[in-house]
């Protein structure tokens, strides 16, 4: 396949509620969308970088520059791409910036699925389940009462597990109150690298609450410290930020740094690498689940497709559009069943329609390449 044009768009969307993690609060998202065009068809991808380089090194602006100046030129200009799976290797010389290149890579998978007239989930080799088990990620709140109220609502909506964001000063005492109020809920905590090994004794106190896992407590790029911590905790560690490639997954597994892996499409650079991380984990008996980055509809739909691979046995952070957006960029929005699942759609590509009028109305930047 030869890509004819790549259109970059930046959209601005206010969140229905702010989302707070240990690294800061987000109230509005600036998202880069990638449209790849060939043979009269378009494929779409969404870049999952945040607005600031706080989750990892990428942000909206860096993603735009990497795509425009480095990634797009490597697949345009008449270059014959042997297939979607050959896209990520074209970007091997770009160090890091996987969310940027991953947005383009995912768009090529979507395009190739549409060319074949197949749903994206089938095209990536998924389909092990056609209903995705869903959990929610709940940010740091103004008060514990507010957190308890939110959890109550999400459980009533059917969500199958609750993830709470933690940070020093909002951890053990908060989780104790949540556990007392919801004795049998499936609970977990995500620290986004807010602790160090000096906090080992403190983190050890979380063992008494029977959490499903503790996500990324230590350094964003430190697999070895997580291995040291895991040897001292009963609760399984789930790695998020640390796992940027299948090689990292293999190394973390080898070092027993985690019992579970959160796979994010953008963080690892797209579907090719996400599948490789999945395969490495499956081979080692490590369960995985699909993480989220406050995605708009395109990224959300891609996450649904990814979650149909066989190893995605745990509820992920992929939830209904209305938890984030007053209006999503896809039609229909992503919706959940009363029992906390998302039903996978059968239309070609990522399975939803793009609301082009709405997209135009929230675009703050657009550039056509090629
Ligand atoms: O660490 O999983 C994370 C959101 C932004 C950045 C990092 C993370 C998150 C979430 C939200 O936990 C997941 C979602 O609901 O999209
Ligand atoms: Mg996380």
Q: What local confidence, expressed as pLDDT, does residue 304 receive?
A: 98
Cα separation, 313 vs 308, in Å, equals 9
Contact partners, residue 52, CB within 8 Å, separation at least 6: 24, 59
**Residue-wise pLDDT tens digits, 13-45:** 999 999 999 999 999 999 999 999 999 999 999
Q: What local confidence, expressed as pLDDT, does residue 257 receive?
A: 98
Q: Which atom belonging to ligand 1 lies closest to the Cα atom of 262?
A: 2
Domain chopping of the chain, boundaries: 5-117+356-369, 122-343
Spatial contact of 49 and 32, defined as CB atoms under 8 Å apart: yes
26 touches ligand 1 (CB under 6 Å): no
* Cα angle 130, 48, 291; round to 5: 45
- The whole-chain average pLDDT of the chain stands at 98
Q: What local confidence, expressed as pLDDT, does residue 157 receive?
A: 98
Catalytic one among 163, 167, 264, 275?
A: 264
* C-alpha of 77 from chain center: 31
What is the 8-class DSSP label of residue 70?
I
In this chain, the answer to whether the domains covering 5-117+356-369 and 122-343 adopt an identical fold is no
Cα separation, 156 vs 178, in Å, equals 15
Q: What local confidence, expressed as pLDDT, does residue 317 receive?
A: 98
| Proximal ligand: closest to the CA of 26 | 1
* Cα angle 286, 292, 298; round to 5: 120
| Among 97, 104, 119, CA closest to 3 | 104
* Ligand 2 mean position, distance from CA 312 (Å): 16
Task: Give percent helix, percent strand, percent coil of the chain, each to the nearest 5.
Answer: 35, 25, 40
Cα separation, 38 vs 55, in Å, equals 34
241 touches ligand 1 (CB under 6 Å): no
Domain 122-343, CATH among 3.40.1410.10, 3.20.20.120, 3.40.50.720, 3.40.190.10: 3.20.20.120
Catalytic one among 163, 165, 167, 275?
A: 165
Spatial contact of 268 and 243, defined as CB atoms under 8 Å apart: yes
Beta pairing class for 131-133 and 341-343: antiparallel
Q: What local confidence, expressed as pLDDT, does residue 254 receive?
A: 98
List per-block mean pLDDT (blocks of 10 residues) for the chain, which spans 370 residues. Answer: 98 98 97 98 98 98 98 97 98 97 98 98 98 98 98 98 98 98 98 98 98 98 98 98 98 98 98 98 98 98 98 98 98 98 98 98 98
**Residue-wise pLDDT tens digits, 60-76:** 999 999 999 999 999 99
Report DSSP letters for 164-207, one per residue.
EE-BTTBSHHHHHHHHHHSTTS-EEEE-TT---GGGHHHHHGGG
Catalytic: 275? Answer: no
Q: What local confidence, expressed as pLDDT, does residue 134 receive?
A: 98
CATH topology of domain 5-117+356-369: Enolase-like; domain 1 (3.30.390)
């Amino acid at each position: 396949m030869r890509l004819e044009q790549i259109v970059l768009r930046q959209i601005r969307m206010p969140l229905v509620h702010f989302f707070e993690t240990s690294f800061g609060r987000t109230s509005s998202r600036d998202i880069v969308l990638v449209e790849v065009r060939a043979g009269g068809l378009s494929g779409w991808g969404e870049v999952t970088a945040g607005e600031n380089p706080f989750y990892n090194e990428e942000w909206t602006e860096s993603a735009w520059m990497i795509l425009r100046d480095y990634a797009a030129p490597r697949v345009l200009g008449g270059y014959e791409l042997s297939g979607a799976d050959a896209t990520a290797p074209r970007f091997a010389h770009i160090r890091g910036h996987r969310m940027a290149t991953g947005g383009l890579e995912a768009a090529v998978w979507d395009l190739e699925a549409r060319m074949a007239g197949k749903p994206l989930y089938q095209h990536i080799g998924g389909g092990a389940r056609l209903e995705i088990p869903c959990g929610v990620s709940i940010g740091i709140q103004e008060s514990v009462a507010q957190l308890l109220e939110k959890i109550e609502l999400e459980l009533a909506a059917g969500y199958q597990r609750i993830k709470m964001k933690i940070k020093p000063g909002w951890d053990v005492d908060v989780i104790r109150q949540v556990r007392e109020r919801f004795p049998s809920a499936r609970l977990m905590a995500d620290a986004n690298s807010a602790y160090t090994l000096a906090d080992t004794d403190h983190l050890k106190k979380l063992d008494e609450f029977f959490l499903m896992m503790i996500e990324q407590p230590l350094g964003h790029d430190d697999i070895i410290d997580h291995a040291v911590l895991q040897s001292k905790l009963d609760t399984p560690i789930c790695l998020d930020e640390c796992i940027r490639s299948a090689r990292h997954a293999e190394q973390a597994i080898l070092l027993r740094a985690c019992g579970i892996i959160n796979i994010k499409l953008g963080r690892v650079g797209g579907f090719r690498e996400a599948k490789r991380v999945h395969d490495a984990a499956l081979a080692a008996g490590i369960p995985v689940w699909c993480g989220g980055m406050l995605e708009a509809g395109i990224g959300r739909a891609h996450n649904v497709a990814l979650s149909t691979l066989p190893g995605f046995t745990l509820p992920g952070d992929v939830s209904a559009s209305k938890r984030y957006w007053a209006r999503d960029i896809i039609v229909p929005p992503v919706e959940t069943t009363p029992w906390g699942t998302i039903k996978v759609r059968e239309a070609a590509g990522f399975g939803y329609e793009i609301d082009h009028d709405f997209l135009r109305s929230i675009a703050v930047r657009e550039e056509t390449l090629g």
